[in-house]
Amino acid sequence: MEEIFKNSKASSSSSSSALVKDQEEMNKKIEEFIATLPVESDGSALFYQFKGCWYPNLFSVLTIQGTITADLLFKAQDSDIILASTPKSGTTWLKSLIFSIVNRKRFPPNKSPLLTTHPHILIQFLEIGHYRNGNIPRNLDQLPKPRLFATHSHYASLPRSIRHSSCRIVYICRNPLDNLVSLYHFRRSFGKNQPEMDTMYENYSRGLTDFGPFWDNILGYWQASLDKPEEVLFMKYEDLKEDIVFEMKRLAKFLGFPFSVEEENEGLVEEISSLCSFEILKNLEVNQTHKPYREGGVSANAFYRKGEVGDFMNHLNPSMVENLMKITQEKFAGSGLVFKYSLNKLHNS
- Report the residue number, 50 or 303, with the smaller CB distance to ligand A3P: 303
Nearer to ligand A3P, 135 or 277 (CB): 277
Q: Do 207 and 54 contact (CB within 8 A), yes or no? A: yes
In whole angstroms, give the CA distance from residue 307 to residue 24.
42
User: Is the CB of 10 or the CB of 172 nearer to ligand A3P?
Assistant: 172
* Rounded Cα distance, 182 and 187, in Å: 9
Nearest in space to 303 (alpha carbons), one of 202, 182, 205, 212: 182
Q: How far apart are CA 103 and CA 106, in angstroms?
A: 5
Alpha carbon 112 to chain centroid distance?
Answer: 22
Among 128, 166, 135, which residue's Cα sits nearest to residue 150?
128
Cβ-based nearer residue to ligand A3P, 93 or 254: 93
Q: Where are the alpha helices (DSSP H) in 131-175?
A: 160-163
Q: What's at 24, amino acid-wise?
A: E
Q: What is the DSSP string of 284-315?
A: SHHHH-SSBSSTT--BGGGG-S---SSGGGGT
In the chain, which ranges are E strands? 39-41, 46-50, 53-58, 61-62, 81-85, 124-125, 148-151, 168-173, 232-236
Instruction: Note if 152 is an active site residue.
Output: yes
Contacts with ligand A3P by CB under 6 A lie at: 85, 87-93, 178, 182, 185, 276-278, 281, 303-307, 311
State which residue, 29 or 187, has the beta carbon closest to ligand A3P. 187
Catalytic entry in 118, 120, 130, 152: 152
User: CA-to-CA distance for 96 and 39, rounded, in angstroms?
Assistant: 34
Residue among 134 and 220 whose Cβ is closer to ligand A3P: 220
Q: What is the Cα 161 distance to its own chain's centre? A: 18
What is the nearest approach in angstroms of ligand A3P to the Cβ of residue 276?
6
Q: How far is the CB of 68 from ligand A3P (least distance, A)?
A: 23
The C-alpha atoms of residue 333 and residue 348 are separated, in whole angstroms, by: 10
Instruction: Please check whether residue 93 is in contact with residue 116, taking contact to mean a CB–CB distance below 8 angstroms.
Output: no
Active site residues: 152
